[in-house]
């Protein structure tokens, strides 16, 4: 399911940062990890993509030289600090809706593309009519489809339920994670190795508890591209869904973006210590790679602003109290060498 709080980010980004002449070294092209949910389910427009549009997107990848690789292959490259493939794409699908089996799989099978489905275990276990059955899941798995974990009850894990202290909160997260591992291991005869955070909502405690189960990769819903500098325990994905974000124009745009590697974000991802941060920004790993004057900072409640850059630190000052429970923050710039948009997102959870 989705938690996308930035529906107009990319059009705004393209307007704010103009393409400039380029001279210096740029980052690698990298890998775009796509996230889908429903296929051909028009009564769920915010998470759906039309089947004809989906086939058009898969055709675009093939006809334009993109290599579709497995999530496993990408994770192994990141773990081994190996150079990741250029112009590559990973296809992921969240929740395990029945339309994956009925509508998406036939298309992906035609193209022989690998893909990963993150299962909402409780829905499948309870045989909810909108979700795949275990029989369908096993049929796909036996045909080579990768299934991984999306949690048991698909909870909003970034928020402490009323009446819980910190000990109870951690125990609640662990119980959900343990339940999903048990079911998936029993039904699929292997323990899941990758975890997609429900709703893409996280804080440092959620990520810490997920890591404690030994996952090789944690998959988020923060938009962005993957580079060799991406942490395999914080992999971003580009959502393809809804009326605007499933268009071919948007699809082509996300494939052209690259990662903007950073040393440290400010404030750090996760729970805010207080709701009026004095500054938003990031320490850039390769500040010399970007066109001067194109570096900006985005905050959900504040929109895009031109950043002040001092050495490797790009930032904006702030005096506004944040009111949303969740804000996403991004730093973006134009690469000198390629003119491409480089971007890195992270999530903040309010008090």
Residues 128 and 241 in one domain: yes
Q: Which of 240, 257, 274 is the last residue of a domain?
A: 257
What is the share, in percent, of the chain residues with pLDDT greater than 70? Answer: 92
Is residue 303 a part of any domain in this protein?
yes
Residue 21 pLDDT exceeds 80: no
Rounded Cα distance, 112 and 144, in Å:
10
Q: What is the pLDDT of residues 205-233, one digit of tens each?
A: 999 999 999 999 999 999 999 999 999 99
Whether pTM > 0.85 for this model: the answer is: yes
Residues with Cβ within 8 Å of residue 275, at least 6 apart in sequence: 321, 322, 323, 350, 351
pLDDT at 2: 44
Q: How many residues does the chain have?
A: 351
Rounded Cα distance, 345 and 220, in Å:
10
Q: Which of 212, 237, 257 is the last residue of a domain?
A: 257
Is residue 90 a part of any domain in this protein?
yes
Q: What is the pLDDT of residues 130-145, one digit of tens each?
A: 999 999 999 999 999 9
* Domain count of the fold of the chain: 2
Segments forming the whole domain that contains residue 50:
30-257
Is residue 283 a part of any domain in this protein?
yes
pLDDT at 81: 76
Q: What is the pLDDT of residues 33-56, one digit of tens each?
A: 999 999 999 999 999 999 999 999
Is residue 319 a part of any domain in this protein?
yes
Is residue 63 a part of any domain in this protein?
yes
Query: In which residue are the tokens 């031109």 written?
Result: 306
Residue 286 pLDDT exceeds 80: yes
- What mean pLDDT is reported for the chain? 92
Confidence band for 320, pLDDT divided at 50, 70 and 90 = very high
């Amino acid at each position: 399911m989705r938690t996308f709080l930035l529906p107009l980010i990319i059009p705004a980004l393209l307007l704010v940062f103009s393409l400039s002449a380029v001279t210096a070294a740029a980052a690698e092209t990298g890998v775009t990890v796509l996230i889908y949910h429903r296929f051909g389910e028009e009564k769920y427009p915010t998470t759906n993509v039309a089947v004809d549009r989906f086939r058009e997107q898969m055709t675009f990848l093939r006809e334009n030289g993109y290599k579709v690789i497995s999530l496993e292959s990408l994770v192994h490259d990141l773990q081994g600090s190996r150079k990741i493939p250029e112009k590559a794409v990973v296809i992921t699908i969240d929740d395990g809706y029945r339309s994956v089996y009925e509508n998406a799989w036939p298309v992906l099978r035609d193209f022989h593309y690998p893909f990963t489905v993150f299962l909402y275990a409780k829905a499948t276990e309870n045989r909810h009519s909108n979700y795949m059955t275990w029989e369908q899941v096993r049929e796909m798995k036996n045909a080579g489809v990768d299934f991984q974990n999306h949690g048991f009850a698909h909870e909003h894990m970034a928020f402490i339920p009323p009446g819980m202290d910190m000990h109870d909160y951690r125990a609640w997260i662990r119980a959900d994670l343990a339940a999903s591992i048990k079911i998936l291991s029993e039904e699929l005869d292997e323990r899941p190795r990758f975890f997609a955070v429900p709703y893409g909502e996280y804080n440092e405690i959620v990520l810490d508890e997920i890591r404690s189960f030994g996952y090789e990769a944690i998959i988020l819903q923060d938009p962005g591209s993957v580079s060799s500098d991406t942490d395999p325990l914080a992999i971003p994905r580009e959502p393809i869904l809804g009326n605007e974000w499933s268009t071919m124009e948007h699809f082509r745009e996300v494939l052209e973006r690259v990662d903007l590697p950073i040393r440290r974000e400010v404030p750090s991802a996760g729970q805010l210590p207080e709701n009026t941060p004095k500054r938003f920004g990031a320490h850039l790993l390769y500040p010399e790679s970007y066109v001067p004057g194109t570096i900006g900072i985005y905050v959900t409640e504040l929109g895009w602003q031109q950043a002040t850059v001092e050495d490797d630190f790009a930032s904006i000052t702030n005096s506004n109290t944040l009111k949303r429970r969740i804000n996403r923050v991004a730093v973006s710039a134009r690469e000198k060498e390629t003119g491409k948009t480089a971007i890195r997102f992270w999530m903040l959870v309010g008090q």
